[in-house]
C-alpha cells in the first residue's frame, strides 16, 4: 500500500535531463508516426511515468499526456491540496487533478485537433483499459502499444540514475550486514523485516520489500510471517532510494551444526560469481540463462531494466526465451537459485550495471 512514497526533490534532478528524455521519446514517436503517447503510472508500477515526470502518485494514479506538437500535461487522481508537494518533486508545470483520467485525457487529446490520430500507450502491462477505451471512443482511434520503443530508451541508465541505484544498493548491503549479526535460530520473519525496515529507512531508504524462504518451505520466497526460523533462510531485500531500486538476496545458515550446508553455499556462490564475470554486452538473455542453468542445475532468472520499478522491468517476461541483447549502462538484477536434496534452496540475487562492457556488481557483500 505504501509503495511509491518517494521523497525525491526535483532540484536534485536537473530539468534538462527530463527535457532530453522527452526529446528522445518524441524521436521514437516520430519514427512510429504517433501524434501523442499516454504514459501511465500508479504507486506500484510507476517507472515509465516517473522516467519522464519525476512523479510517482504515492497512493493514486496518473497519466502523462505527451503530444508531439503541444504542451505535455500530467493528470493525476490525487487531490488538488497536494499540489504544493507535487511542485517540489516534478518539473512538469501543467498538472491537473481529476477523478476521471479517461475523460480528461480524451478531452485534452481532442484539443489537438488531429484527424485520425495515432495514439500510443505505455506500459501495456498496466495501462488501464477504461482510460484507453475512453480515448479510443472519443477520438475514434485504436490505442497502439508503445511500450517496447519507450522502454528501449529507458533501459539505458544515466550517471545520475546509476548513482541512485548504487546508493540504494549501499543501503541494502549495510542493512543486510547489520541483520546477519542478529540472526539466531528461532528468529521470525517479522523480526527480520523489523530490523531491515529500521536499518534501511534510518539510512534514508524510501521503501523496502523483504521476502523470505525459510527451512526449505515449498512455497518459495514469501512475505515475512511470525513463524520461527531454525536452520537456514533465503532473504531477499529490495530497497528504494530516490525512486531507484536495488535488489539483494542471500542464503544464510543459522544452525552452526549444518556445516555441510555452509560448504555447499560457498561452492554455489563461487560458481555464480564466475558465471557473472563472463557476461558482456552483446550476450542474450537466452545464453545467460542457459549457462546459469547448466552450471547450477537449477532455475535462473534474469531481469533487465531494473531501476525505477520494484516489480517487473522492461523484459520481465522475455527472460529465459528472449534474444534480447544486453547493452552498456543497462541495470540488471540476477536471481539464481539451486535446490538441494531435502528441498533446501540456495539463493543469490544481485543488482549490477553493465559498465564499460563489464558487469559492475553494486550489491557485493
Q: What does the binding site for another protein look like in residue numbers (CB under 8 A)? A: 1-3, 5-7, 9, 42-45, 58-59, 61, 79-82, 84-85, 121, 124-130, 132, 143, 145, 190-191, 193-195, 197-198, 200-202, 204, 206, 211, 218-226, 311-312, 316-317, 319
CB of 323 to another protein, least distance (A): 16
Nearer to another protein, 184 or 317 (CB): 317
| The C-alpha cell that represents 305 in the structure block | 531494466
d(CA 254, CA 252) in angstroms, rounded, equals 6
- Cell 494514479 belongs to residue: 61
Task: Find the shortest distance in angstroms from Cβ 74 to another protein.
Answer: 17
Q: What is the rounded CA–CA span in Å between residue 299 and residue 284? A: 17
- Closest separation in Å from C-beta 201 to another protein: 3
Q: Are strands 119-122 and 36-42 parallel, antiparallel or unpaired?
A: parallel
**Residue 127 beta carbon to another protein: minimum distance, rounded to whole angstroms:** 4
- Number of Cβ within a 10 Å radius of residue 112: 16
d(CA 95, CA 100): 14
Shortest distance, position 7 Cβ to another protein, whole Å: 5
Rounded CA separation 247/63 (Å)? 27
- Residue whose CB is less far from another protein, 319 or 353: 319
In the complex, what is the shortest distance from the CB of residue 152 to another protein, in angstroms, rounded to a whole number?
A: 18
Radius of gyration of the CA atoms of the chain, in A: 22
What is the C-alpha separation between 238 and 222, in angstroms, rounded?
13
- Judged by beta carbon, residue 194 or residue 273, the one nearer another protein is 194
- For residue 114, give the C-alpha cell: 488531429
Cell numbers that stand for 130 in this block: 477504461
Q: Closer to another protein at the Cβ: 115 or 186?
A: 186
Amino acid at each position: 500500500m505504501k509503495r511509491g512514497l518517494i521523497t525525491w526533490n526535483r532540484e536534485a534532478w536537473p530539468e534538462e535531463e527530463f527535457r532530453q528524455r522527452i526529446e528522445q521519446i518524441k524521436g521514437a514517436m516520430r519514427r512510429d508516426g504517433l501524434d501523442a503517447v499516454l504514459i501511465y503510472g500508479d504507486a506500484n508500477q510507476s517507472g515509465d511515468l516517473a522516467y519522464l515526470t519525476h512523479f510517482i502518485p504515492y497512493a493514486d494514479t496518473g497519466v502523462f499526456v505527451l503530444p508531439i506538437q503541444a504542451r505535455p500535461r500530467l493528470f493525476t487522481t490525487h487531490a488538488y491540496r497536494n499540489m504544493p508537494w507535487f511542485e517540489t518533486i516534478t518539473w512538469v508545470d501543467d498538472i491537473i487533478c481529476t477523478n476521471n483520467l479517461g475523460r480528461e485525457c480524451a478531452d485534452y487529446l481532442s484539443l489537438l485537433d488531429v484527424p485520425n490520430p495515432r495514439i500510443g500507450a505505455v506500459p501495456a502491462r498496466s495501462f488501464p483499459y477504461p482510460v484507453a477505451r475512453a480515448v479510443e471512443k472519443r477520438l475514434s482511434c485504436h490505442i497502439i502499444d508503445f511500450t517496447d520503443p519507450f522502454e528501449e530508451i529507458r533501459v539505458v541508465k544515466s550517471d545520475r540514475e546509476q548513482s541512485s541505484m548504487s546508493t540504494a544498493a549501499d543501503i541494502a548491503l549495510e542493512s543486510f550486514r547489520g541483520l546477519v549479526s542478529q540472526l539466531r535460530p528461532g528468529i521470525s520473519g517479522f523480526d527480520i523485516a523489523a530490523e531491515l525496515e529500521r536499518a534501511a529507512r534510518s539510512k534514508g531508504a524510501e521503501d523496502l520489500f523483504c521476502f523470505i524462504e525459510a527451512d526449505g518451505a515449498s512455497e518459495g520466497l514469501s512475505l515475512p510471517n511470525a513463524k520461527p526460523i531454525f536452520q537456514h533462510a533465503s532473504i531477499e531485500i529490495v530497497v528504494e532510494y530516490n525512486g531507484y531500486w536495488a535488489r539483494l538476496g542471500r542464503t544464510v545458515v543459522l544452525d552452526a551444526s549444518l556445516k555441510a550446508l555452509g560448504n555447499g553455499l560457498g561452492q554455489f556462490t563461487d560458481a555464480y560469481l564466475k558465471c557473472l564475470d563472463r557476461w558482456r554486452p552483446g550476450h542474450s538473455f537466452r545464453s545467460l540463462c542457459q549457462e546459469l542453468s547448466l552450471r547450477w542445475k537449477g532455475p535462473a532468472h534474469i531481469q533487465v531494466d531494473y531501476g525505477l520499478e520494484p516489480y517487473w522491468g522492461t523484459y520481465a517476461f522475455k527472460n529465459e526465451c528472449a534474444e534480447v541483447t544486453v547493452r552498456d549502462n543497462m541495470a540488471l538484477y540476477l536471481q539464481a537459485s539451486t535446490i538441494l536434496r531435502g528441498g533446501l534452496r540456495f539463493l543469490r540475487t544481485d543488482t549490477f550495471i553493465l559498465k564499460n562492457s563489464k558487469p559492475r556488481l553494486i550489491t557485493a557483500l
